[in-house]
Structure 1
């Protein structure tokens, strides 16, 4: 799901508000997107605020919302200035902090690569040392699922003659067929048993792994299930199931360590003082 980076939006809009109060040259008219009094919103600022993964069909509404927010912010800020209102030192600090944070993150991105290597040995060691983190909170079943709105004799024949429901699905391109259900056609992976439809739970009761079950009639149509595995509550997920998650955790740990080293090295190059005695710490 796309998430709007509103912190970044507000930071850049805030910069434009600050600049609006400072004398500067009028931008090229062809670059102006909006104007409120002597304040201008230019194309380059707006372009900076367009998320890379914004779907094309949402671009127009996103930009209109962005420009309207800038206009409203300018109208309010200019009215506040006319009445002599100013930001308190604490409020100004918060505004500056957003810009400092963004600039610092930009520096980190430039200095520290996101391509952090993680070895299989590191993954295995993490897995063995943190087994408790991979315990199942609930009983789970590994299922393959097929849904048909109407019974199909040819597909039912394939199912009877096959030991793999997934092969039947792929052979008939049923995994590419849209369904009106939450459950897609294909391998569902491990799912929490208690979250299954009541009809599925009844059908799976006392079934052996590998067994193909169905057709299961529901108000939607007909379902087939193949039970590939059962795992009880409290069992440990296999390494294959959590390998990518572990790799991501290790990468994050390594990156945070690199960031800490970078900050410590920078601290050594600049005079830093703290005077906590000037604060009321009680």
Structure 2
């Protein structure tokens, strides 16, 4: 993951390797090679999101050092008479064009593309196969406890709703060392559950609370709210948000297509495919 992020960052810095030559407040400058500057804003722009403090320091140093290396190599190349080829210059100019085009499209598609409930229902009815289950699924509520608490165990035993117990005791807000969070897991593929979980919930019953299930991590409780076999169709409530996103993306795509077609009328466009096909 880190290697992939670095490749993306370095590609961006190659583009900017000669761009920071304007005057800046000295406190904004992170590095300088000759007359070229690298500013804090540029470094922060290329910094990956959601990284911890140690990773942040690592990436900042890599970004700065790579920029310095690029500047040194590029400036030495200029001193020795190297220039960009005609194709390289075209690539650079085309990149500017693509960035401007993307910025323009983004500014024209800021509005929300409204999708009605009727449109969602029509899509659902006309695309049933997209929502057919490939595997057996169970709707699970999960609770993990590192140690058993007698009071909590009794409360679970007396309750008909595991999710109510979890929420009442704020257990869904607790960070646990296991993969499965505390709370409603939604529909999950049965065959991908832990072997201990599969054994515990085998059968056809729903509503029962299973547990405590002992694992190497601690103790688990499960409640099966529903079981659905492979081949069944997911209900509209389960896929409504997904359909809304699909239709919003579709409307956005159609809007961009119409925008491009309408703008072509404002410009002289010629093609000479006979010269290449």
Short-chain TM bin: 0.7 to 0.9
Query: 2:268 aligned with 1:268, yes or no?
Result: no
Please list every run of 5 or more consecutive structure 2 residues that lacks an aligned counterpart in the other structure.
none
Could you say which residue in structure 2 is the equivalent of 1:73? 70
Could you say which residue in structure 2 is the equivalent of 1:115? 112
Q: What SS does the aligned partner of 2:84 have? A: coil
Number of equivalenced pairs: 275
Q: Distance in 2 between matches of 1:276 and 1:234?
A: 49
Q: Distance in 2 between matches of 1:100 and 1:149?
A: 57
Could you say which residue in structure 2 is the equivalent of 1:14? 15
- Decide which moves more: 86-95 or 68-77: 86-95
Could you say which residue in structure 2 is the equivalent of 1:254? 251
Please list every run of 5 or more consecutive structure 1 residues that lacks an aligned counterpart in the other structure.
none
- Name the CA shift for 1:95/1:135 in 2 (closer, same or farther; >3 Å): farther
Query: 2:34 aligned with 1:33, yes or no?
Result: no
Query: 2:71 aligned with 1:106, yes or no?
Result: no
Contact 1:165 1:212 in 2 (8 A): yes
Q: Distance in 1 between matches of 2:211 and 2:59?
A: 47
Could you say which residue in structure 2 is the equivalent of 1:125? 122
| Aligned counterpart in structure 2 of residue 209 of structure 1, from 201, 206, 211 | 206
| Aligned counterpart in structure 2 of residue 187 of structure 1, from 184, 188, 192 | 184
Q: What SS does the aligned partner of 1:256 have? A: helix
| Aligned counterpart in structure 2 of residue 93 of structure 1, from 90, 96, 107 | 90
Contact 1:11 1:99 in 2 (8 A): no
- Name the CA shift for 1:257/1:166 in 2 (closer, same or farther; >3 Å): same
TM-score (norm 2): 0.87
Query: 2:61 aligned with 1:64, yes or no?
Result: yes
Could you say which residue in structure 2 is the equivalent of 1:225? 222
Deviation at 1:60, TM superposition (A): 4.5
Q: What SS does the aligned partner of 1:145 have? A: strand
Could you say which residue in structure 2 is the equivalent of 1:159? 156
TM-score (norm 1): 0.85
Contact 1:123 1:247 in 2 (8 A): yes
Deviation at 1:15, TM superposition (A): 4.3
1:97-141 C-alpha deviation (Å, 9 max, x unpaired):
322211111111222224111111111111111111112222111
- Name the CA shift for 1:6/1:97 in 2 (closer, same or farther; >3 Å): farther
Q: What SS does the aligned partner of 1:241 have? A: helix
1:183-228 C-alpha deviation (Å, 9 max, x unpaired):
1111111111111111111111114111111122222222111111
Contact 1:165 1:226 in 2 (8 A): yes
Q: What SS does the aligned partner of 2:263 have? A: helix
Deviation at 1:89, TM superposition (A): 2.9
Q: Distance in 2 between matches of 1:47 and 1:159?
A: 49
- Decide which moves more: 265-274 or 84-93: 84-93
| Aligned counterpart in structure 2 of residue 244 of structure 1, from 236, 241, 245 | 241
Contact 2:10 2:66 in 1 (8 A): no
